[in-house]
Amino acid sequence: MNRLYDMEPRVMDDEMLKLAVGEQGPRDEARQLAKQEGILFKDVLSLQLDFQNILRIDNLWQFENLRKLQLDNNIIEKIEGLENLTRLVWLDLSFNNIEAIEGLDTLVNLEDLSLFNNRISKIDSLDALVKLQVLSLGNNQIGNMMNIIYLRRFKDLRTLSLSGNPVAEAEDYRTFICAYLPDLVYLDFRRIDDHMKELAEMKHQCSVDELKHQESLMQAQLEDEQARWEELEGHKAAFVEHLNGPFLFDSMYAEDVEGSQLSHLPGVGELVQTYKDKFVIVCLNIFESGLKQQEKRKAELDTFMGCVQEAVQEKQEQGKHKIAKFEEKHLLTLSSIQDESELTNFEIKMAEHSEDITELVNVLVTLEMQLVEQLEETINMFERNIIDLVGLFVENVQSLMAQCRDLENHHHEKLLEIAISTREKIVKGELDEDLPDAVRPLFVDKDTIVNAVGASHDIHLLKIDNREDELVTRVNSWCAHLVDKIHKDEIMRNRRRMKEINQYVDHVQSELDRLECSDLLD
């Protein structure tokens, strides 16, 4: 604020941060260590930067693990540069010159936010702060009571301060807040007593109830949408989305200008209707078989995963058991080696123990190799089965799609017949009904009408082909991707395990070596 303007604004540079970190770091003996080693910014949990005359927040991106940040009593004008501080729980920006709430969208863990004594006039942009418990907005310029309603979305909000704002001067300020934020416990540093709550409820019950009603409607709508979205996702996972209805059929006619024009011909309307009914039934067939196949694939995958899990678990238990046994012996041997004074005995024991270690490695690696072989076989089997399943599904879909095409061909023939007969009638002037103007040009000559019908037919076939292609491509790529992932996962697992074994053995060996060294030193 103004009082600090007589000083030069400072930049948040490395030096300032290092100083602050150094000062606020560990105390006493630990400080010595910290100095010795230096502290990485990313290990810092809490940082205090008050009264530094900071104008712009900057250079904080390294503090990934920061939990508490104090930037109060500076001259900051804009909230920025905090995007990386996603673990932040406590943020103090009081006594600055901030005018708008912004730049907090990544701080999802924030529980305590202080913006006391700034120039904020509107509460918003806090949507991401779902865990917010304490919000301090006193001494700002918030003038509209409706800002309070925005705060209803924070279910954990218990403490709020708004005193010193224009809103706080309103007569029913306290009751209004208590009514609209019933879970609030402290307002303006004072506990809300039951009496106040009752009063607030009496005063604002009507409007609050209305608001609640609206909110619940919104909520229901959201849930509804969510449910629909989830259903669609499920269908997509089965690769048969939009096949449980006339969507495909409708899309065939959506881009088909001629088709819709032709449907005005006498008798075509009925024809299209029966065609549509039949078509939709086939689509539904595809849809259902798709869901069924999806179930089957899922069950297959689950069984496979379960079996793999079991096999891995078993080997793991065996390995753990071996290691536990070894560890027991290892400790005993180490202490006995340590106590050994005779050099020859010492060496013998060292050699023996080295052998033990080698044997442990062998055992562990053998277990792992066995597992790899077993899993490879299982994975191959699964791969065959899943490919078979997918093939079956594709075949089924293709045959059903062929039915669709047959229907289309049939429809096309009928349509062509009607079109030609209509044209003949037109030529003979026998046509009773009036045709829409847009359709008339089609009947100029025979080629035109045949072409028009043919174009409609082509579009329909194209749509059907496209849908089929899309389905087949996606299911195949899903299958390939799955198999690929399983192989990769297995390789990764194997590498991790080998690394783990090596690491452990290295550790054990190093313990032994250290003993040797220390002994030699003695």
Partner 1 sequence: MEVLKEKVEEEEEAERAERAEKMMRPMEVRKEDTTRTQEMLRDLERKLSEIEVSIPEKPSTFTKDAIDTSKLPLSYQSNTPKEEHLLQVADNFSRQYSHLCPDRVPLFLYPVNECNVPKFVSTTIRPTLMPYPELYNWDTCAQFVSDFLSAVPLPDPLKPMVKEEEKAPPKKYAVKPPRDLTSRFEREQEVKRQEGVKAEEEKRLKPGERLAEQESAKTDPLHGLRVHSWVLVLSGKREVPESFFIDPFTARSYSTQDDHFLGIESLWNHKNYWVNMQDCWNCCKDLVFDLGDPVRWEYLLLETDKPLLSLTEEEDDGTNDDDDAENLGKEDEDKSFDMPCSWVERIEISPEAFETRCPNGKKVIQYKRARLEKWAPYLNNNGLVCRLTTYEDLECTKILEIKEWFQNREDMLELKHINKVTGLNIDYFKPGHPQALRVHSYTSMQPEMDRVMEFYEKVRVDGLIKREETPRTMTEYYQGRPDLLSYRHVNFGPRIKKLALNSAESNPRPVVKITERFFRNPAKPADEDVAERVFLILDERIQLRYHCREDHLTASKREFLWRTEGDSKGNKIIMMPDMCLSFEVEPMEHTKKLLYQYEAMMKVKNEEKLARHQAWESELEVLEILKLREEEEEARALTISIYDTKRNEKSKEYREAMERMMHEEHLWQAEAQLDYLAPFLAQLPPGEKLTRWQAVRLKDECLSDFKQRLIDKANLIQAWFEKETQELQKQQQWYQENQVTLTPEDEDLYLSYCSQAMFRIRVLEQRLNRHKELAPLKYLALEEKLYKDPRLVELLKVFV
Q: Which residues contribute to the site for partner 1 (CB under 8 A)? A: 26, 29-30, 32-34, 36-37, 39-40, 43, 312, 316, 319-320, 323, 364, 493, 496-497, 500-501, 503-504, 507
Token pair, residue 192, equals 């809300």
Q: 35 or 213: whose CB is closer to partner 1? A: 35
Nearer to partner 1, 259 or 319 (CB): 319
Structure token pair of residue 364: 């562990």
**Shortest distance, position 32 Cβ to partner 1, whole Å:** 6
Structure token digits, residue 272:
């299209």
Contacts of 497 by beta carbon, 8 Å cutoff, 6+ apart: 368
Least distance from C-beta 503 to partner 1, angstroms? 7
CA distances from 439 to 251, 277, 351 (A): 21, 25, 99
Shortest Cβ distance from residue 40 to partner 1 (Å)?
8
Q: Which amino acid is at 91?
A: L
Query: Could you give the CA distance from residue 200 to residue 297 in angstroms, rounded to a whole number?
Result: 58
Q: Which is nearer to partner 1, 474 or 507 (CB)?
A: 507
3-state SS assignment for residue 178: helix
Which of residues 198 and 500 has its CB atom nearest to partner 1 in the complex?
Answer: 500
d(CA 454, CA 439): 15
Cα angle 219-225-226, degrees, rounded to a multiple of 5:
85
Write down the least CB distance from residue 129 to partner 1, Å.
23
As a whole number of angstroms, the distance between CA 272 and CA 95 comes to 73
**Minimum distance of partner 1 from residue 87's CB (angstroms):** 15
Residues 440, 253: Cα–Cα separation, whole Å = 20
Least distance CB 501 / partner 1 (angstroms): 7
Least Cβ distance, residue 333 to partner 1 (angstroms): 16
Q: How many other β-carbons are positioned within 10 Å of the β-carbon of residue 383? A: 17
What's the closest the beta carbon of residue 302 comes to partner 1, in angstroms?
Answer: 19
Q: How far apart are the C-alpha atoms of 361 and 192, rounded to whole Å?
A: 67
Q: For residues 44 and 240, which CB has a smaller minimum distance to partner 1 in the complex?
A: 44
Helix 268-339 and helix 194-237, axial crossing angle in degrees, nearest 10: 110
CB 160 within 8 A of CB 177: yes
Distant-in-sequence, close-in-space partners of 111: CB < 8 Å, separation ≥ 6: 89, 90, 131, 132, 133, 134, 156
* Nearest residue (CB) to partner 1, 221 versus 502: 502
The rounded distance, in Å, linking the Cα atoms of 102 and 68 is 18
H helix or E strand, kind and range, residue 315: helix 268-339
Helix axes 446-521, 268-339, angle to 10 degrees: 10
Q: Measured from the CB of residue 115, what is the shortest distance to partner 1 in angstroms?
A: 32
CB of residue 136 vs partner 1: minimum separation in angstroms? 30
> N- to C-terminal Cα distance for the chain?
68
Q: Identify which of residues 301 and 323 has a Cβ nearer to partner 1 in the complex.
A: 323
Q: Which residues of 91-114 are buried (b: 16+ CB within 10 A; e: fewer)?
A: bbbbbbbbbebebbeebebbbbbb
Residue 313 or 448 having the CB closest to partner 1: 313
Bridge partners of residue 237, in order along the sequence: none
Q: Which is nearer to partner 1, 64 or 201 (CB)?
A: 64
Looking at the Cβ atoms of 33 and 281, the one nearer to partner 1 is: 33
Task: Rank residues 153 and 507 by Cβ distance to partner 1 and give the closer one.
Answer: 507
CA Rg value for the chain: 38
Q: Tell me how far apart the alpha carbons of residues 258 and 454 are, in angstroms, rounded to a whole number.
A: 9
For partner 1, which is the closer residue by CB, 208 or 508?
Answer: 508
Cβ of residue 372: shortest distance to partner 1, in angstroms? 15
- Shortest spacing between CB 33 and partner 1, in angstroms: 5
Helix and strand totals (H; E) in the chain: 10, 10
